[in-house]
Amino acid sequence: NSPSSFVGFPLRIPVLFFWVAQVHPNSFLSSHFFPLVYVYGSYFSMLTLWRWLRLPLAAGSSHSISSGTVHKFFYVTGPSTEFANVLEQLESTFYMQALQKFNLSDFTAAGFTSPQIPLQQFQAIATDESTHATTLQLAINALGGETISGCTFDVSSLLTDVSTMVAAARLVENVGVSAYLGALTLINDTVLSTAAATIMTVEARHQTILNLLSGATAIPQAFDVALNPSEILALAGGLISGCSLGIPANVPLQLNSSGPVLAGMELNFTSTALNGTSSSTNLSCQFLAGGLAAAIVQPLCECSVPQNITGPLYVFVTNSSQPLANNIRDAATGTIVAGPTLIFIDNQQDALAMAARPGLNSTVTTNSTATTTASFAAPTTVTLTPATPSPSAVSATPSPSTVSATLTPSTTLTSSTALTPSTTLTPSTTLTQSTVPAQSIVTTTISPSQASAILASMSA
């Protein structure tokens, strides 16, 4: 089944063409030698590529099949292109149904300043995913393959409201980037890896947009985390049914949380793999974030959100305390009992996110530790837990005493203006870098649209 087993004879054909052209210089073959060789070479190249794509990974082989992916996922026990097509259809179905269900008023109710902001982005992302799915299916058919049939995608639990949908979309795009990075580690063919990279950059753009639409940090980490297909299916496999993908999925792991998740808060999980052993001292919880060389390991019975991490955080349950390497080639995946699940630690909020969606988290403090968590595994669930909503407020603490200032229509702050109990501001009031608050704690109640400008002035 190796390509080398059928390369020898076909490569002799151009040599035969050349010999005939030399012996019979006036023949059709002689006058059309180069076009014929070009056509034959193109056909043989496509045939060779298709044979590579359908080769199974040899167990224990030191060689990674370079055709492991055409898009975001690589081949394990079935044709990679067919599997990728199923996943693209899942994404396309999700965005299509979301756009069909929600209208402008739904986005306004979800806290967006202008409903056109998220709507435009979701339409663009939906177009991208549909194009990926269509193109992949055409490629499979052109190469003589058959797409996996019978798959159904149940995304209804992700579309209960706009907030849930946005959280699910954010998870989808972050998981997609991680899956794609994992696939790239097994691609040796430069043509395929280049093609895959052109799609990965688009997925990363989707990821950034969804971070902002979730009211979080656009680029929370300098690196992303690579995952393998079994880990991807632990996160998204619950959405696919009715067909065999040929890839063994990790056991899903679900975070139990009924409210905001804070740094240092103890975490509890549900999984069929735990079977009531969540307090076992033999199990560990492991956290993987972008930029970490290895996972942060804690006993499962003492598992809590790590400090000083912002953005996506993958959580595994393992039967070993040996840290998982943040490298899918070297990670001891055999120790994974369940997971990963994905949580988002949103302890920083970009001004752009606040401007686009001030209604998501109208209480902003300099030491906020609330996180957003989202996961869907079989059975599929998505949980969104931003900080508890309250009237828009900004707190600054320059000194121990407290002064309350109500912002109303008549005051402009300058470098010589101190905030006092009677200080008032209008929506047009501007805080400049030279503004000096009085030696007191100042609590200003404002409209959500003013939060970004005031926070920038206070941090200057």
Give the tens place of pLDDT for each residue, 74-123. Answer: 433 334 556 677 778 899 999 999 999 999 999 999 999 999 999 999 99
State the pTM of this model: 0.63
User: What pLDDT was estimated at residue 87?
Assistant: 78
26 with 148, same domain? no
Alpha-carbon distance values, 298 to 38, 272, 320, 323, 430 (Å)? 60, 20, 10, 10, 47
| Domain co-membership, 329 together with 412 | no
DSSP structure class, residue 113: S
- Which residue segment(s) compose the domain that 116 sits in? 80-373
225 vs 243: CA distance, rounded Å: 28
Q: Are residues 162 and 91 in the same domain?
A: yes
Answer whether 83's CB lies under 8 Å from 147's CB.
Answer: no
Last residue of a domain, one of 37, 53, 69: 53
Shared domain check, 321 and 192: yes
C-alpha torsion sign, points 250, 187, 62, 178:
negative
- Given a contact cutoff of 8 angstroms between Cβ atoms, the answer to whether 251 and 271 are in contact is yes
Give yes or no: residues 85 and 47 share one domain.
Answer: no
- For residues 356 and 209, state if they share a domain: yes
Is 365 found in the same domain as 334? yes
Q: Identify the residue whose tokens are 């004879």.
A: 9
Strands (E), 397-456: 402-406, 441-445
Same domain, 107 and 217: yes
Six token digits for residue 52: 């590579």
Is the domain of 146 the same as that of 243?
Answer: yes
Mapped onto helix, strand or coil, the DSSP state of residue 65 is: coil
Give pLDDT, residue 387.
37
Residues 410 and 364 reside in one and the same domain: no
- Kindly state whether residues 87 and 171 are assigned to the same domain: yes
pLDDT score at 95: 97
Average pLDDT, the chain: 71
Check residue 20 and give its pLDDT: 64
pLDDT digits (tens, 9 = 90+) for 338-376: 999 999 998 888 999 999 998 775 433 333 334 444 445
Structure-token pair, residue 276: 């009531």
**How many domains are there within the chain?**
3
Q: Are residues 367 and 419 in the same domain?
A: no
Max intra-chain CA distance, the chain: 104
More confident residue, 138 or 284: 284
